[in-house]
Chains A and B, each alone.
Chain A
Amino acid sequence: MTGGAGTTAVRLSGLDKAFGPVEALSGIDLEVAGGEFVSLIGPSGCGKSTLLRVVADLEKPTAGTVEVGGKTAERARLDQDYGIAFQQAGLLEWRTVAENVELPLQVHGVARAERRKRAGELLELVGLADFAGSRPGQLSGGMQQRVAIARALAPSPKLLLMDEPFGALDEMTRERMQAELLRIIGETGAAVLFVTHSIPEAAVLSDRVVVMSARPGRITDVIDGCRPRGGAALAGQGVDGAEVVADEVDDVRESTAFFASITAVREALRKGHG
């Protein structure tokens, strides 16, 4: 694992964010360890997307400090220390799939041959090697989202920020993508901050689920998730990682720990709401 256990991927302390008179976030303290998968869940308007955008330096906090890999959020953005994926894949439709994956590297001046090579590896990783020369418009929604994830991973970030990346997908595709994501980040060792609406999604993917409530947006609870860890470790050793992780995720979805997590998150959400 290259994520580096022991290092801190994200550290937020005393974070406030207001849009005019509206308090979007209030008194947020949160740490994400290297290689850790943390989900943010809560009702609409609880500021979970805003929180992610503050970490990405797409919004400036009103008060408090943001550290990303030990740097300021702005420095981390300028150094391309994180990869980001949105609910919309947001691919550039005039570029091929491979060229879309290369975009972050192109922006940072990586030489063409090296970009090509890296894009090839990443498309292999997300299982789309055969579509390198296709246009995004020829791909299904799930495939486009996989391209977006490959693009987010292009600069080999230690941190992946994901804002409801599977929100627009159907349930079947969504479950397959969850297993895919676990395998991919298992291989890359990246930490993940993951915004979602779905309780089962948060439970199956996360090491920790951060539950938030609205008006003002704040953290009300942190619950242990059920992220399977075994298969990812095997994946590097010539085993078919995809198969192993998919089986593991299926096992998790039927385990009592999974249902316990779901119940705990649901109760925390209800408590925060009342």
Chain B
Amino acid sequence: MTSLLRVWPPIALGVLGLVLWELVVRLAGVPAFLLPAPSAIGAAIGQQFPVLLSTAGVTGANSLVGLVAGFLLGVVLALLAAWSRLLRELTTPVVLAASAVPIVALAPVFTTMFGSTTELPRRLVVTIVVLVPVFVSTARGLRQVAPVHDELMTALAASPWQRARFVRLPGAVPHIMTGLRLAAPAAVIAAVVAEYFGGLQNGLGSRVSSAAANTAYARAWAFVAASIVLGLLFHLAGLLAERLVSRGRT
């Protein structure tokens, strides 16, 4: 009941926004290349629905593969960095530098490197985008070991690997999940935008750019809408994963 009360105001706002949008476009005669009406976009969604699904599947798969790869890589690198001072000094600046680079700018380079007939370039872009927040938050979690736990593991003569397995890693899980939650929607953004720079024409991003280039504005917006839905799905999945894990711990 209370969740229903919390959910309906934003929905009402959204519906109101769509109605206003429709009215403005119709009454002011806004040209379609500037802003198509929601009704036109809705019609395009209806027409393109099978294509929307299949392209969303491709982009979703790229996002997921990149998310999983980047997540695993981020956690492993953070573990190595926590383990060895040398590795920490090697990896930390590189990962932080990666966060400063506009990574989607690498997409055309990767496409040239790996060829335009493979999904690999997009997945690589997603991997790097995901790697950064996962690495940073995992490293933070791994650093926050309670002194009493550290002492205990020393008193128990635990090996470095046992320390990681029994104390550091489980203690860092909430931080790791926060990293995953932040990275999940970013993975979709990276996968969509990476498609703007050539390569295979089978995903949402490539459809947005080709529809726009062909002056099919309502169709372009239909694919944008699908990208938004996909991003929301990843966001919710990340949120759910974080909630589930943190609930299992108290």
Q: Is B158 an interface residue (CB 8 A)?
A: yes
- Across-interface contacts of A108 in B (CB, < 8 A): 156-157
Q: Is the CB of A106 within 8 A of B155?
A: no
Residue interface bits A16-59, CB-to-B below 8 A is 1, else 0 = 00000000000000000000000000000000000000001110
Residue interface bits A71-98, CB-to-B below 8 A is 1, else 0 = 0000001101010101010101111000
Q: Is A230 an interface residue (CB 8 A)?
A: no
Q: Is the CB of B249 within 8 A of A58?
A: no
Instruction: Kindly state the separation between the CA atoms of A77 and B153 in the bound complex, as whole angstroms.
Output: 11
Instruction: Kindly state the separation between the CA atoms of A44 and B206 in the bound complex, as whole angstroms.
Output: 70
Instruction: Kindly state the separation between the CA atoms of A33 and B154 in the bound complex, as whole angstroms.
Output: 25
Q: Is A120 an interface residue (CB 8 A)?
A: no
Instruction: Kindly state the separation between the CA atoms of A78 and B159 in the bound complex, as whole angstroms.
Output: 10
Q: Is A137 an interface residue (CB 8 A)?
A: yes
Return B240 CB to nearest CB of chain A, in Å.
19
- Across-interface contacts of B200 in A (CB, < 8 A): none
- Across-interface contacts of A93 in B (CB, < 8 A): 249-250
Number of cross-chain contacts by CB at 8 Å: 50
Q: Is the CB of A77 within 8 A of B146?
A: no
Q: Is B151 an interface residue (CB 8 A)?
A: yes
Return A124 CB to nearest CB of chain B, in Å.
23
Q: Is the CB of B167 within 8 A of A92?
A: yes
Enumerate B153-197 residues with CB–CB distance to A below 8 Å: 153-158, 162, 166-167, 170-171, 173
Instruction: Kindly state the separation between the CA atoms of A90 and B158 in the bound complex, as whole angstroms.
Output: 16
Q: Answer whether A92 and B166 are a contact pair too, CB < 8 Å, given A103-B156, A104-B156.
A: yes
- Across-interface contacts of B154 in A (CB, < 8 A): 58, 77
Return A89 CB to nearest CB of chain B, in Å.
8
Q: Is the CB of B151 within 8 A of A78?
A: no
Q: Is the CB of A78 within 8 A of B149?
A: no
Q: Is the CB of B148 within 8 A of A88?
A: yes
- Across-interface contacts of A56 in B (CB, < 8 A): 155
Q: Is A253 an interface residue (CB 8 A)?
A: no
Choose from A86, A94, A106 the contact partner of B170 (Cβ within 8 Å): A94
Instruction: Kindly state the separation between the CA atoms of A86 and B153 in the bound complex, as whole angstroms.
Output: 13
Q: Answer whether A84 and B148 are a contact pair too, CB < 8 Å, given A94-B170, A94-B249, A135-B250.
A: no
Q: Is B24 an interface residue (CB 8 A)?
A: no
Return A191 CB to nearest CB of chain B, in Å.
17
Q: Is the CB of A92 within 8 A of B156?
A: no
Instruction: Kindly state the separation between the CA atoms of A84 and B171 in the bound complex, as whole angstroms.
Output: 21
- Across-interface contacts of B171 in A (CB, < 8 A): 92, 94
Q: Is A172 an interface residue (CB 8 A)?
A: no
Return A82 CB to nearest CB of chain B, in Å.
8
Q: Is the CB of A90 within 8 A of B146?
A: yes
Q: Is B98 an interface residue (CB 8 A)?
A: no
CB-CB nearest in chain A for B155: A84
Instruction: Kindly state the separation between the CA atoms of A77 and B151 in the bound complex, as whole angstroms.
Output: 12
Q: Could you name 28 residue pairs across A and B whose Cβ atoms are closer than 8 Å?
A: A56-B155, A57-B155, A58-B151, A77-B155, A77-B157, A80-B156, A80-B157, A84-B155, A86-B151, A88-B148, A90-B146, A90-B148, A90-B151, A90-B152, A92-B149, A92-B166, A92-B170, A93-B249, A93-B250, A94-B249, A103-B156, A103-B166, A104-B156, A107-B162, A107-B166, A108-B156, A135-B250, A137-B250
Given contacts A106-B166, A107-B162, 14 further A-B pairs with CB under 8 A are A57-B155, A84-B152, A90-B151, A92-B171, A93-B250, A94-B170, A94-B249, A95-B170, A103-B156, A107-B156, A107-B157, A107-B166, A108-B156, A108-B157
